[in-house]
Structure formats: structure tokens, C-alpha cells
Amino acid sequence: MKREAVFSKSPRPEGSLSHAPAQADVKASMVASSAASPQAPVAPTKKLFPSLRWDFAAVFLLGALVSLLAVGLLSPAFQIKPALTQKDIDAAVLHTLQTKELPSQSAKAAASVQGAVVHVQAYVADPKNKDVDKESGVGTGVVIKDDGTILTNFHVVSGAKRLKVTFFDGTESDATVIGVQADKDLAVIKPQKIPDDLEPAVLGSSQQLSPGDGVVAVGFPFGIGPSVSSGVVSGLNRQFRSPDGNQTLSGLIQFDAAANPGNSGGPLVNMSGEVVGIVTAILNPTSSRTFIGIGFATTIESAGSAVGLPPF
């Protein structure tokens, strides 16, 4: 009598043995052989497609990485922008000029030197009271060295018993004359004390000036100031004869920025904020001594040589 195969508990279709006797014999012999040998441990059931999870994870990570790169490259922060052209720059400048109020060049030039401009007051003995000093004149000076050395006009300090200078921050100090060049109407004075944060003016070159170039004059006209006036260079290498005819100055800068008594010794400044001259005189055919449109300044080269500064 044949034993029932035990590797499958599913029912057999009727008549299967009659149709495949050879196959039944083989199965029976397999069962018999299995029964005769020791029982082998049952291997755990293998999962269907065990490598599928790893393949799917790799594909997912690769896709995510490609997506991030695409978003990064397409975002504005990572996009490669085309190089600016001159047309783009011109358009940007034009837009700024049309929509923004730009600072005045004259204001910038004056601001760059204003901290170095000083008010100069000259005193003489009062003829009625020798113990009292009487103000004899006012003028302007400009600091040209870190130690407080000031350049001004000779006619501002000439004949003075005492000099007093007032700095931009209100600091007052007595000053002494340390050098003069009367034929160029120039004098150098030195204050006894200076502000801690004093900065000298930047000296430029008058050789770069042309008629029509913008300039500003900074000073104390009639003792009021510091005051700023703007204009242009009217001419170069001009001459001026003093009203009494005793002095002639040459090689002067002619300008039309307003200047009046008290501006003498103050700086004439170009649009870069550099001192290019020292205001010296005004021309007025009348006796009023007021400005009518023609002023003169000694070139800073001439002034520098007068006080022993190196050439510019």
C-alpha cells in the first residue's frame, strides 16, 4: 500500500495517479528518502524580491538630489546672471539722476575743508587806554599742518599787537606770527593750543584749474561765519594792484565766488575739496570795499613756497 505524499496538504484531483503514474512514483520515493534521513532544519521563508527595498531607496534619494539641484540652479540666488553692459550702467545712472536728489558738489567741497578754517582776529593797543586791546581787523586762516600751523594774509596780521584764532569747535587760542612774505601778502601763524581732533586741509594744485571750473570760498566775511560762497574760476595768471598803488601781486587766480572783507586769508577750494588758493583781494573801483564779482587768490603753490612747504 502506497503512502500519501506529505510535502503538500492540498487535496489531489481525482484520477491524478492514473494519468501520471511515473510522477507519483518519483514523489513517493522522495518522501521515503526524506523519512529515512534525519530531519533537516527548516530554512526561513525567503522574502519576495529581497533587494527591491534597497533599489527603491537609491532611486528615491537620487531623485530627491536631482530635484534639489534643479531648484537651486533655477532659483534667483543660484542663477548665473549675464554680465553688465555699458547700456545697463547708463540706464542705472540715469534712473538714479531722475529719482534721487544728489548732494551739492559745492557743499561737499566746503565740508571737506571747513574743519581746518579758522577765524583770525587782530588787536592793537587802544590809544585811549594802553591796557586795553582794540580789535583792528578780522580775517580768515586755514590750517595746513597737523601741529596747527595756519596760513593767512599778511595784511590781516600786519601791525597787530595780539592775534586770536577761533577753531571750528569754538576753541580759542592766542597765536604768534612765525613767518611772513609781504610781497605775496602771506603770513604763517602758530596757535598756542589746538583742538584734539584738528585735521589740516588737503592742499591741491592750481595747475589743474581751467576757466569755468567750480570753486568755493570759505571764510568770515565781516566776521560772519564760517560762510561759504560758490562760483567758478574766471581766469588764471592775473595781476592785481593795491588801491594805494604800493603793491602789485601777480600769478593770481581770478574767481567770482562772493568774497568780502574778512574772507582774506581763507581757502579757495576746488570741487575735490582741495585748497588751491588763498583768498587775497577783491577788485572794486569804488571806495565801498565790497564784492562786485571779481576776486583774486594767491595760488597754493606760491603760498607753499612762501612758507617753506615742498612743491606740489
- Residue 276 three-state SS: strand
Backbone angles phi, psi at 112, to 5 degrees: -70, -20
Contact 304, 311 (CB under 8 A): yes
Q: Looking at the annotation, which residues are catalytic?
A: 155, 185, 264
CA–CA separation, 310 and 305 (whole Å): 7
User: What dihedral angle (degrees, nearest 10) is formed by the CA atoms of 299, 300, 302, 306?
Assistant: 140
Strands 214-219 and 162-166: unpaired
Q: How far apart are CA 163 and CA 137, in angstroms?
A: 10
Grid cell 590809544 — which residue? 127
Q: Which of helix, strand or coil describes residue 250? A: strand
Which residues, other chains included, contact 157 with Cβ-Cβ below 8 Å and sequence gap of 6+?
A: 120, 122, 139, 163, 177, 180, 187, 189
Cα atoms found within 13 Å of the Cα of residue 122, Cβ hemisphere only: 22
